[in-house]
Chains A and B, each alone.
Chain A
Amino acid sequence: MVTVSATPDVRRSPNQTFVLYLKEMKYEFLKNLRIPRYSASVIVLPLMFYVLFGLFMGRQTIGNTSTAAYLIATYGTFGVLGASLFGTAASLASERGLGWIQVKKASPMPPFAYFAAKFFMGMMFSFIVVSLLLVLGLAFGGVRMPFQNMVQLVGTLVAGSIPFCAMGLAVGYFMGPNSAPAVINLIYLPMSFGSGLWVPFQFLPKVVKQIALYLPPYHLAQLALRVIGFDGNETNWTHWKVLIGFTLLCLGVARFGFQKDEEKMYG
């Protein structure tokens, strides 16, 4: 008996693939939004710092800008760093370590969709944190700036999420599911301090100032500060170059990790 069923040449239409990417992103975002440990800490922590140090103790100026405005840029960078790093690294380490990534790999999901969704999720959380900081500053901190600058500030910081999502992937490929959050904190907290995200750069000890020049969050913070009218020493292009270089480096490490995993499973 010979039965001929579906044609062997099955393909997704471009439209179906587009919808697939949207759903992958949507559910990656929802998945993390519903983990209070993640969503609360990466959103609430920067807001809390901002309320304490920016609003209650604010009103003075740092250089030629108000503290309330200055701290939107630096706590915004802090928020972007946390959202991007925790979102990507912790979920990747967990999904690699506990087998879910194998189910995904066995399915017809394009591998690129998986990574695109992680970047999207990091950027979405960054957008939320930065927007909330801005709203707080405008409503309670007496911050005034042209609408165009607000868009530029949010845009800069959300774009600045990309290097740290890349870093999260790089880190996530070399950590176990249980150790991930601890290891990320060991990177995230010192890096934030050293980049002048908690204590303004001007007030950092000299030695930390020199280290800061090598830390990517410092460069993102400088770009954000420039938007609100705080002048730094380097040109914007210098900062972007550092961030782009850092992104490429992290993507290279992540790619190495991806291949290492493939070898392990497929080697």
Chain B
Amino acid sequence: MSAAQTISIAEQPEVKGAVVASLREVTKRYDDVCALNNVNLSVRSGELLALLGPNGAGKTTAIKLLLGLAKPTSGTSRIFGGDPRDPATRLRIGAMLQVAKVPETLRVREHIDLFSSYYANPLLRKETLARGDIADIQERKFGDLSGGQKQRVLFALALCGDPDIIFLDEPTVGLDVEARRILWHEIRKLVARGKTILLTTHYLQEADELADRVVVINKGNVIAEGTPTEIKARTAGRKIRCITRLTSDAVRGLPSVVDVCQDRGAIEIQTSDAESVVRALLSLDAHLSGLEVTRAGLEDAFIALTQEDNNVAGARR
């Protein structure tokens, strides 16, 4: 494919699957702290990309760079093929950021009214209130809301302009299980309407439930990228938990065992072939008890990936 063709696709963000926002070889330093280190990131039209990582991994920095709120130390940040600070570009963007204090004396309805006026084709107020699940609190002042209600209002502000791409920085932080499910449902509906979403989270389940693709970052580096299924496959397939008299070292010596760790009197075994390991364990220890076999979730994959990365980084030092 020629270079000219590549460019023409990038300039048509409406083509499903085309790259609509990207970081190219981006490094971002704050004084001597390296928040992002040579990161490549592409958000494709119509997908929900989850940026997954522990606190301080550089997720918020990545979002700020894409939104033009911070400038890369090196590399480029593009959105719809242009500079994120271009006013015409901002008309197509919605953002939910982590904010310490929102003006508290304005009513929910008034915040929505103001932000809707910033856009060319905003949603009807009724629609925005419904999608944020905040119709019942629209007359309340922002300062009188609970933490979860505040999050829902910020979510509504991000989508009230009916933007093409929506950035959600830790959208469900501080929400209870029920509120989180409602928000997930609304996020899925946005994707179904063809919106592009970049979401950051350290809730692994959230990425697993919502994302088309997951990018795992740790300490400013991208350490894995793929579908949730692919990320899970990056580590051993299943996890065995049991109480046994066998030592960790003996278990580690069994074929197809990837990792063993002690956990409150039991041991946990990561393995690519659970059946043969279980067979071997039972024949070696007649008193083995509390046997559980589970599929490794995204959480295990995530912990394994970040630990692997930390170990490699440690070994380099």
Contact = CB atoms under 8 A, between A and B. Distances in A.
Do A and B interact?
Answer: yes
B14 interface: yes
A105 B84 CA distance: 11
Interface in A9-47: 9-13, 16, 19-20, 23-24, 27, 30-32, 34-35
A267 B70 CA distance: 7
Contacts of B106: 27, 30-31, 34
Given A20-B118, A30-B110, A102 B69 contact: yes
In this complex, which of A2, A8, A30, A31 has the most chain B Cβ atoms within 10 angstroms of its Cβ?
A: A8
Interface stretch (A78-86, A107-115, A163-171, A195-203): A107-115
B68 interface: yes
Given A35-B105, A99-B99, A108-B118, A10 B157 contact: no
Nearest to B92: A10
B14 A5 contact: yes
A23 B103 contact: no
A106 B97 contact: yes
A20 B88 contact: no
A102 B13 CA distance: 26
A106 B14 contact: no
Nearest to A33: B105
B300 interface: no
Nearest to A35: B105
A31 to B, nearest CB: 5
A266 B70 contact: yes
A88 interface: no
Contact of B120 (A10, A98, A110, A267): A10
A6 to B, nearest CB: 7
B67 A103 contact: no
Contacts of A161: none
Contacts of B87: 108, 110
A94 interface: yes
A99 B97 contact: yes
B80 interface: yes
Contacts of A105: 69
Interface residues of A, number: 40
Interface string B115-127: 1011111000000
Contacts of B69: 102, 105-106, 265-266
A110 B105 CA distance: 22
A1 interface: yes
Contacts of A139: none
Contacts, number: 116
Contacts of B16: 1-3
Contacts of B95: 103, 106-107
Instruction: Give the interface size class of chain B.
Output: 35 or more
A100 interface: yes
A266 B66 CA distance: 12
A12 B97 contact: no
Contact of A99 (B71, B90, B98, B157): B98
B133 interface: no
Interface in A65-109: 94-95, 98-100, 102-103, 105-109
Given A20-B117, A108-B119, A99 B194 contact: no
B70 to A, nearest CB: 6
A4 interface: yes
A12 B88 CA distance: 9
A6 B71 contact: no
A130 B80 CA distance: 50
A5 B164 contact: yes
Contacts of A9: 88
A8 to B, nearest CB: 7
B117 A10 contact: no
Interface in A151-189: 177
Contact of B114 (A8, A23, A32): A23
Interface string B175-207: 000000000000000000010000000000000
A102 B102 CA distance: 11
Contacts of B167: 106
A11 B120 contact: yes
B93 interface: yes
A23 B117 contact: yes
Contacts of B115: 107
A10 B92 CA distance: 7
Given A10-B88, A99-B97, A107-B157, 6 more contacts: A2-B15, A11-B91, A34-B106, A95-B103, A106-B67, A106-B97
7 contacts: A4-B14, A5-B14, A8-B92, A11-B120, A106-B167, A108-B93, A266-B85
Closest 10 CB pairs of A and B: A34-B105, A98-B101, A99-B99, A98-B100, A108-B90, A106-B95, A266-B71, A20-B117, A10-B91, A108-B118
Interface of B: 13-16, 46, 64, 67-71, 80, 85, 87-88, 90-93, 95, 97-103, 105-106, 110, 113-115, 117-121, 141, 154, 157, 161, 164, 167, 194
